[in-house]
Every structure is written in structure tokens, then in C-alpha cells.
Amino acid sequence: MPRERSLSEEPTEFTIRARSEAKRIDHYLHSRFPDYSRSVFQKVIDAGAVLVNDQAVKASYKVQLGDRVRVWLPVLDHDVPQAEDIPLNFIYEDDTMAVVDKAPNMVVHPAKGNWSGTLVNALQHHLDRLSSVSGELRPGIVHRLDRDTSGLILIAKADRSHTHLAKQFEDRTIRKQYLAIVSGSPERDSDYIDKLIGHHPTHREKMAIRRPEDGGKVARTFYKVLERFRGYALILCEPKTGRTHQIRVHLTHVGCPIVADKLYSGRDRLTMGDLIGPEAPDADRVLIGRQALHAHRLSLIHPKTEEPMELVSPVPEDMQAVLQALREHRAIG
């Protein structure tokens, strides 16, 4: 477990973008550097180790567009993630970035309860260098996927490429498309789900639809039904914002929770018995044992060449097994 100790000798510097306006500086720093608690940042601010436009500020200071921030981060007393020979499927790689097709059941970076076996541990083995922008616990990590979500994830090898890619996410110019198999079927063939998302009031691991006064933040997801079955559907989702668990929460809200999403549907698997009844010979066969959500397509601008890129990950085997069973036993008409 890491614990905080002395401050770093060199400050971390950055400029506030529009999406962060009016957020308290201690809250903003905690969201940007989640390896540290909010109380730690309050102590750092009280120590005068956070400067905004070259002036010390209080924890209650609300950041503004264009603010120049310098922060001396506490040095964490931990071992950096160790290289582990874990197989990875690289969809793309050059001297500035890589794209990995992440397998399900893989945590992206070390954190409480998961200090090994993560994507970062594997990257340390496979790649000679990784960007340092996200800190020692998350080298190279520009964005993240939930543990049980499979598919495409961007990796930055250099700080300059990391900053370029991060700005694309911040400006919402990177296009991400996901495939989801859901219980139920939306009424419309395509639509936008535009509902604020915030922390669940009683369940610390969950997010929920929330009002602005309860911490809800703007969240918008476009969806399109690709295939309908009796009681199920295959959906293409394109999040227009990047809230935690956004697709999972939004689909649950419209009555179509993702198959085998234990946190939001209460079920951690889909079996043949769920589709054809408990008396079937192979009723106990598990078709999928994790949320049926896959990061299918990424469209972006290459951070060095400035050329547009589009990367695609095929439907993983477990989701293919579900679709095959649905087409065989739950086809419409």
C-alpha cells in the first residue's frame, strides 16, 4: 500500500481547460491525480505547494479557464509497477503510441487490491518506454476501461504524444464506439440518452442518474440498435462524454442493462438456461461471465503525423458465443 511522504523536487505544470471551470482546486487536483486523496491535496495547498498563476491559493479556490497551475506532488512510498510477462494483443504500435486490444478481467493500472497483473505491468514488459504524464502508477495510460470491458485502449510512449492524445479526449474529438449486448430492447432504433450522472447515494462502487444539486454531471450517449432478439438486443454505443460507467448507467436507465453486468443488472453471467429454459441439456453452460461491453472502434488524430486514424477490434469470442446463441434460440420472426 502506498503512503504519502515528502514533496517532489520538481513541480507538475498544466493549464486549466474549459471543462474544469468553477471546480474547487482541491477537487480538481484529486480528479486529475487520483493516486492521492482529497485530504492530501488540502494539506499540499495549506503548505503553499500549489500555485495558480504564480500565486498560492486556498483549497476553496475555483479554477478558471486558462489558469496556469503548478503543484509539487507528494512522493508516494511504493514500488513502481513491475514488469510482468503477460500476453497483450497490440493492434497498432509506433515510436510514439500503441493501441492494445485489452482482454476482459484485466485491470488497467495498479490500485488498491490490484498491485500486479494489470495492463501497466504487462506494458512495462512489452514496451521500452512509456509516458510519465499520468504518474508512476499509470505510465502510458491516457484513458481507461473498466476491468471487465474488453477492447481498444490507447497507450502513449512519450509525454508529448500523451498530452496530444489527452487534449483530444478533453476536446471530445476522439470518437469511441462500443458494442453492448443488453437485456430488453430499446423502443427506438437509435436515440440519445442525455441524463446527468453522479455517484450513487448509498453504493460507493456505483454511479447513478443524479440531479445537478446532488452532484450530477452532464453525460450524453448515442445508441443504435444493430440487431434485435426476443428479450435482448445488440447495441452500438457512442459516448459523447466520458463519465465513469456512463454506458452501463445510461443503458440501465432506459431499461436495457448490459448482460452479465453484476453491478447494474444483479447477474454476473448468462447461461444457455437463461435463453432456452432450465430443462435444456446444456442449461448450465455459461455463455459469458462478465459484462457484455466491448470497446470496438477508435477514431483519432495521430499525435505525431496529424493524420486521421481508425482502429477496430473484432467482437470477442464470449460475446460472439452469446450472439450465436441468441440468433439460434431468440431470433425474431
Given 146, 148, 261, 274, the catalytic residue:
146
How far apart (Å, rounded) are the C-alpha atoms in residues 139 and 154?
Answer: 12
Query: Do residues 139 and 238 both lie within one domain?
Result: no
Q: 108 is in which domain, residue-wise?
A: 90-170
Examine the fold and report which residue of 170, 198, 230 is the final residue of a domain before the chain moves on: 170
Q: Is the pLDDT of residue 3 over 70?
A: no
Q: From 170, 185, 211, give the residue that closes a domain.
A: 170
Question: Is the same domain home to 314 and 234?
Answer: yes
Q: Is the separation of the CB atoms in 15 and 68 below 8 Å?
A: yes
Q: What is the pLDDT of residues 198-226, one digit of tens each?
A: 999 999 889 999 999 999 999 999 999 99
- The tens digit of pLDDT for each residue in 73-91 reads 877 655 567 889 999 999 9
Given a cut of 50, whether residue 2 has pLDDT beyond it is no
Whether 83 is covered by a domain: the verdict is no
Q: Are residues 214 and 323 in the same domain?
A: yes
The pLDDT value given to residue 323: 98
Q: 268 an active-site residue?
A: no
**Mean pLDDT, rounded, of the chain:** 91
Cα dihedral sign for 99, 103, 108, 110? negative
| Domain end position, chosen among 21, 43, 76 | 76
**Strand pairing class (90-93; 286-288):** unpaired
Q: What's the CATH code of the domain at 272?
A: 3.30.2350.10
Same domain, 259 and 320: yes
- Percent of the chain's residues with pLDDT above 70: 95
Judge residue 279's burial from the number of C-beta atoms within 10 Å of its C-beta, 0-12 exposed, 13-18 middle, 19 or more buried.
Answer: exposed
Cβ pair 264, 248 in contact under 8 A: yes
Domain match, 24 and 57 both: yes
Residue 81 domain-assigned (yes or no): no
Which set of grid coordinates corresponds to residue 154?
490507447
Between CA 233 and CA 181 the distance in angstroms is 6
